[in-house]
Amino acid sequence: MRSNFSINNNIIMNTLDNLLEKLQKFTAESKHSSDRALAVLGATYLSDLLGHLLSAFMIAEDKIVTALLGSERPLGTFGARIVAAYALGLLGPNEYHDLLHILKIRNAFVDEYDTMNFNHERVRQHCFALRALREITRPEESLTPRRMFEFAVPILARQLALRTVQAEGEKRQPPGNFKAIDTDVG
């Protein structure tokens, strides 16, 4: 029993290390990015983390998981991953809420190539709606919409990393096959 715990503990630590390493890369790259690059990069990063979360929860059959989560697959998009993770009980309501707003921010930058920035009203309203910021800011603090986004993505990333660890502990297993006739007559 003890060795199973240490194996699970190693899996947990590797998962967290991997996800937090990606967070450091995102943070370093985002500092010098344009508004558009930041929005797309942040959403892509969170989509990747949602893929890890869903994969951690699904049965351990790579071919099946890839068939769902791969590019151009049913759960290959950021929006589909958000909804699936919430529907499976892998996200809390605030995480779901904020991820939907991040998706809308990303979509605004993709839809309006020439004119979009974090101060545009279409984006500002979504930045101000992010709930994750309420945990780290004081009411008297005023952050720009870009700073709100820059803070929200790492907060959500850490939450998704912890949710991934939880999902590893609740990993699905295929049930046994049904038997039409019980042959174990005693």
Nearest Cα neighbor of 55 from 67, 45, 43 is 67
pLDDT over 80 at 9, yes or no:
no
Q: What is the mean pLDDT of the chain?
A: 88
pTM: 0.86
Q: Are 160 and 85 contacting, i.e. CB atoms less than 8 angstroms apart?
A: no
**What number is the average pLDDT over the span 150-162?**
94
Q: Which has more confidence, 163 or 179? A: 163
- pLDDT category at 125 given cuts 50, 70, 90 is very high
Q: Are 85 and 54 contacting, i.e. CB atoms less than 8 angstroms apart?
A: yes
Question: Quick check: helix, strand or coil at residue 108?
Answer: helix
Per CATH, the number for 2-169 is 1.20.120.330
Cα-Cα end-to-end distance for the chain: 33
33-64: per-residue pLDDT in tens? 999 999 999 999 999 999 999 999 999 999 99
